[in-house]
Structure 1
Amino acid sequence: MLTTRKTNSSAMLYCTILVLSLGCLRAGAAVRFASIFSDHLVLQRGMADPVWGMATPGQTVKVSFAGNTVSAQADNTGHWMVKLPSMQANANPQTLTVQAGNSTSSVKDILVGDVWLCTGQSNMTYNLWGWTPGGHGHAAVAKANYPLIRFIDVPQKTASQPRDSFEASWQVCSPKTIGGFSAVGYYFGRDLFRKLHVPIGLIESSWPGTPIQPWTPLSAVRNTPELHNDYLWITNSEQQYGAQKKAFVTAIAAWLPKARAAINAGQVVPNPPAEPWNPMSAPGYTSLYNAMINPLIPFAIRGNIWYQGESNVNDSLYYVRLKALIKSWRKAWNQGDFPFYLVEIAPFYYGNPATGEPVVWNAQQNVVRTVANTGIVGTQDIGTLHNVHPFDKRDVGYRLSLLALAKTYGQKGFVYAGPMYKSMTISDGKAVIHFNHAADGLVSRDGKPLNWFEIAGKDKKFVPAQAAIVGDTVVVQAPSVPSPTVVRFAWDQIAVPNLMNKAGLPALPFDTNDAMTNSDKK
């Protein structure tokens, strides 16, 4: 086993040297596109699309597409970038070509439409094939003949430093190709296509079981005061790993002559030094951003859907972390405040404390209240309390599409979100709760009295409350709380409340003490 490890380590070293050498030769010998550009891709309409790649340093590069040709010069590392003129949606396949000197490279079957990122952890990752029980996945796959929907799945990799490439290709949506793609991403893209009738590109970059920290770039951690301790941990870990790696190289250099001598003498080879563990792997802080997000930048996108938070339950800094992530991604893409739409994590029994999941719910909603061009869809009615992965991905994708159609595309005439706490007034010992997204009226999903409301006075001792719908408000009271000061709703990890609007969209949980209502944008 030890000999195998030594051999594998050496092989990895030699392969790395060989790959780097081939990469240098390739950069010097042939012009090429970055890895995000492959046959069947979708370019973003209505924007100056960045196109980039590698060539011989100093070469003039010409990129042609749809009758337009733009030029740039490769820098001293061989990197080049151009921006194509803004284009309208186009479902006619075209070819994207780059030429430098005598070298030419092309990608074919290119459409122009809208491109959306699909990011997060397992509930974004889980694919159509995996959701047969109540999830409609296999039936959806059989009907997935949408040649104008294209998708690409970024490989699950980690990196301690930002990467600029990955190995994956765009595919045309069909029953033969779509089964392994994100179910939420597919339903979202399909429903957008049905309404917009333009090509849709979907980029999935997700990893099950991951907290938000690996998806956040180092710059965001460094520039966020509340995350200073995280930044110290990262920098200290990197310094320790650097010192350990240096010592490892020295130890290997001392071990090699001994190993060679033992082999020549027919003796047992001494154990090699143990290679140090890189704390940025596994995945660790920033590692998924480096390997799975950075290579996509600055590919033009319409927006991002984000389904993550299960691995940050009870994280008091989740609000700060999510704001920092959104801000940093938008800054990196440099295309303004592109839409960033969240999925509320579904009710699930995580164990004690029962209010650990509401910490994430509250953070998600407060981000929507305070960060421009964001939104959230509720899942209180489709959770599975003993499975963190709800089967119903179809409704999640559909609700995300409603959000995008209303907020991104400006379509009107429908309710696009569930009731969200807006404000509270106190009158005659009763709390009157006002909501956003309730103008069409509120109802009980099962026709029974409203449930999961609690009320408290100044002592903050919550008791179950009676709640009744009055127009577009809910009136909450309890005989034992004559002077209420705070109300909370569905503030428990296993809460499956029955309050919704008449569009059938569930109300979001809230605690009137924790909601940031002053900057509500609805």
Structure 2
Amino acid sequence: MRLLRVLPAALLLATTTLASALFAEVKVPPIFSDHMVLQRDMAAPVWGTAEPGEEVVVSIDGQSHTTKAGDDGKWSLKLKPLKAGGPHVLSIKGSSEIDLQDVLVGDVWVGSGQSNMAGGVGGYAKGDEVLAELAAGTYPQLRFCRGKGGKWQESNPKTNPGFSAILFAFGQQLQKDLDVPVGLVLGAVGGTPSGRWLTDEMLANNPHTKDYQAANGGDLYKQHIQPVVPYGIRGVLWDQGESGTAIKGLDQFTTMGALIGGWRDVWGQGEFPFLYVQKPSGGGCAWDKSNPTNRMAEDFTELPAKPQQGNAGEYRAHHVGIMKHPSTAMVTARDLGSGIHPRNKSGYGHRAAQVAMGFAYGKDVEIYGPIYASHKIEGNKIVVKFNHVGSGLASKHGDGLQGFAIAGKDGTYHWAQAIIDGDTVVVSSPDVPQPVSVQYAWDKNSPWANLFNNDGLPALTFRASE
């Protein structure tokens, strides 16, 4: 009996000793490592664990900050904003000391989604000669990290093959254009729906999704993204959509609204830029296939005998709509090459960098082709007005502009004659004397649709009616 009375006390002592040992040393998450990139021009968070009540001092580039670990052993603080540059040493001192070497300051982007984000440079370089050439290079100002327990790596011919192909191409181009260090954090899993990349709390906090639950409890978010929150970032590049949402009753537009808003809430950085790659991939012709970015686009073809009457273009048009969420932009992929897993990862990454430069950094570069803005009916014609006309609307290939169809009250679409007039396109058909609706590039794939702006970017699919 005496042994039974003593045992709980011994267990309590052992448990206390173990807990103390766990926090005896100052520790930080794996994302804080040698070769890391800290986000420039913001109060970048640093956090970790230590002995409860222990004083922790964090220093870098002449600044020093002090905090204490709470009763749970956790501590956190924020650095004063740093300018791009380095290398620096990030020193973290308590009862023990961590000195992280070769720390750069620049822009940090998170890449997430499914297989087209997860697929590695090594695999895709076999069918993408541009990517292969890039992968053979060394880029001292470009760094990689995996969100699930990974540490930072420098970009070189040995590390490049093991990283995300699209994220590598994106970051390499971005670093070249910005001339500042760029850090890339990867959290992506092939074949996954968007509903596993957000939590029940994120759904509950969105008025359009509050009655739904995350697929698998948001397991992928918790495994791959949560470990790096609230690490300072510049934005997110998302490539997912083929696997839908896996949340019954919720479409991709609505789910992505909750995901984007939810990620921004937990990060606490406001509305950072969220870029996403257009789905389905490819399906259209390009302005100029001699451009390396567009070399795998579909060849231009003649019109099919009849336009699509059903919903074949609905998903493509619906996916375009995700850009309506705040501070969200789409990476147009219609002219980059088709397939569930497009081989042209260099082109996709470089197009994403172009969008980032115009959308996130405010550079004077067009990021979209013509986008439907409005229309009006004038007798037997429909006048369609476009945004993002860039340096002007233009047709490319063939004998004239094609890909538009109009319908009357019977809902049957007929191919239309289309004429560019300033920032509008005037469409008509002798078969539709009283038109009520218009569509463009309305199909899963539409290599026959040839409206662009003079910046070389393709018009986006749409259908509109009275």
**TM-score greater than 0.5 by the shorter chain:** yes
Q: 1:39 aligns with which of 34, 45, 69?
A: 34
Superposition deviation, residue 225 in structure 1: 4.6
Contact 2:245 2:251 in 1 (8 A): no
- Which amino acid in 2 is paired with 1:440? S
2:409 corresponds in structure 1 to 458
1:361 corresponds in structure 2 to 316
Alignment pair present for 1:27 and 2:28:
no
1:426 corresponds in structure 2 to 377
Partner SS state of residue 77, structure 2: strand
Q: How many angstroms apart in 2 are the aligned matches of 1:311 and 1:181?
A: 22
Q: 2:118 aligns with which of 122, 125, 134?
A: 125
Q: How many angstroms apart in 2 are the aligned matches of 1:191 and 1:383?
A: 19
Partner SS state of residue 312, structure 1: coil
Against the structure 1 CA distance between its residues 356 and 30, is the aligned structure 2 distance closer, same or farther, given a 3 Å change threshold? farther
1:238 corresponds in structure 2 to none
Q: How many angstroms apart in 2 are the aligned matches of 1:342 and 1:188?
A: 12
Q: 1:302 aligns with which of 222, 234, 243?
A: 234
Contact 1:343 1:378 in 2 (8 A): yes
Superposition deviation, residue 359 in structure 1: 4.1
Partner SS state of residue 243, structure 2: helix
2:7 corresponds in structure 1 to none
1:241 corresponds in structure 2 to none
1:483 corresponds in structure 2 to 434
Point out the structure with the larger helix share.
1
Q: 1:169 aligns with which of 151, 154, 177?
A: 151
2:254 corresponds in structure 1 to 320
- Which amino acid in 2 is paired with 1:189? G
Alignment pair present for 1:178 and 2:160:
yes
Give the 5 Å matches for 1:282-431. 284-312=216-244, 317-347=251-281, 358-369=313-324, 371-384=325-338, 387-412=339-364, 414-431=365-382
Q: How many angstroms apart in 2 are the aligned matches of 1:437 and 1:341?
A: 17
Contact 1:346 1:383 in 2 (8 A): no
Contact 1:347 1:493 in 2 (8 A): no
- Which amino acid in 1 is paired with 2:334? Q
Q: 2:130 aligns with which of 96, 117, 136?
A: 136
Q: How many angstroms apart in 1 are the aligned matches of 2:417 and 2:61?
A: 63
Q: How many angstroms apart in 2 are the aligned matches of 1:21 and 1:355?
A: 67
Superposition deviation, residue 110 in structure 1: 0.3
Give the 5 Å matches for 1:7-156. 24=19, 26-90=21-85, 92-100=86-94, 102-131=95-124, 132-134=126-128, 136-142=130-136, 144-154=137-147
Superposition deviation, residue 135 in structure 1: 5.3
What's the TM-score once normalised by structure 2's chain length?
Answer: 0.85
What value does the CA root-mean-square deviation take over the aligned residues?
A: 2.6
Partner SS state of residue 270, structure 2: coil
Partner SS state of residue 512, structure 1: strand
Against the structure 1 CA distance between its residues 86 and 65, is the aligned structure 2 distance closer, same or farther, given a 3 Å change threshold? same
Gap regions ≥5 residues in structure 1: 1-19, 155-165, 235-279, 515-522
Q: 2:192 aligns with which of 202, 210, 224?
A: 210
Contact 1:27 1:78 in 2 (8 A): no
Q: 1:178-215, CA deviations, whole angstroms, 9 ceiling, x for partnerless residues? A: 11212221121111111211000011111111111001
Partner SS state of residue 72, structure 2: coil
Q: How many angstroms apart in 2 are the aligned matches of 1:195 and 1:108?
A: 26
Superposition deviation, residue 418 in structure 1: 1.7
User: Which deviates more, 456-465 or 113-122?
Assistant: 456-465
Q: 1:24-65, CA deviations, whole angstroms, 9 ceiling, x for partnerless residues? A: 465322101122111101000000000001111111111111
Superposition deviation, residue 136 in structure 1: 2.6
Q: Percent identity?
A: 38
Q: How many angstroms apart in 1 are the aligned matches of 2:235 and 2:118?
A: 18
- Which amino acid in 1 is paired with 2:159? T
Contact 2:37 2:181 in 1 (8 A): yes
Alignment pair present for 1:495 and 2:450:
no
Q: How many angstroms apart in 2 are the aligned matches of 1:134 and 1:357?
A: 30
User: Which deviates more, 296-305 or 418-427?
Assistant: 418-427
Q: How many angstroms apart in 2 are the aligned matches of 1:134 and 1:119?
A: 21
Q: How many angstroms apart in 2 are the aligned matches of 1:408 and 1:69?
A: 30
Contact 1:439 1:472 in 2 (8 A): no
Superposition deviation, residue 449 in structure 1: 3.2
- Which amino acid in 1 is paired with 2:321? N
- Which amino acid in 1 is paired with 2:90? L
Against the structure 1 CA distance between its residues 190 and 450, is the aligned structure 2 distance closer, same or farther, given a 3 Å change threshold? same
Against the structure 1 CA distance between its residues 203 and 360, is the aligned structure 2 distance closer, same or farther, given a 3 Å change threshold? farther
What's the TM-score once normalised by structure 1's chain length?
Answer: 0.76
Q: How many angstroms apart in 1 are the aligned matches of 2:383 and 2:151?
A: 53
2:10 corresponds in structure 1 to none
Q: How many residues align?
A: 424
Partner SS state of residue 212, structure 2: helix
Q: How many angstroms apart in 1 are the aligned matches of 2:113 and 2:310?
A: 22
Superposition deviation, residue 355 in structure 1: 6.8
2:304 corresponds in structure 1 to none
Q: How many angstroms apart in 2 are the aligned matches of 1:193 and 1:214?
A: 31
Superposition deviation, residue 84 in structure 1: 0.5
Contact 1:489 1:509 in 2 (8 A): yes
1:266 corresponds in structure 2 to none
Superposition deviation, residue 400 in structure 1: 1.7
- Which amino acid in 2 is paired with 1:330? R
Partner SS state of residue 53, structure 1: strand
Against the structure 1 CA distance between its residues 345 and 431, is the aligned structure 2 distance closer, same or farther, given a 3 Å change threshold? same
Superposition deviation, residue 513 in structure 1: 4.7
Superposition deviation, residue 495 in structure 1: 2.2
Contact 1:429 1:484 in 2 (8 A): yes
- Which amino acid in 2 is paired with 1:297? V
Gap regions ≥5 residues in structure 2: 1-14, 284-307
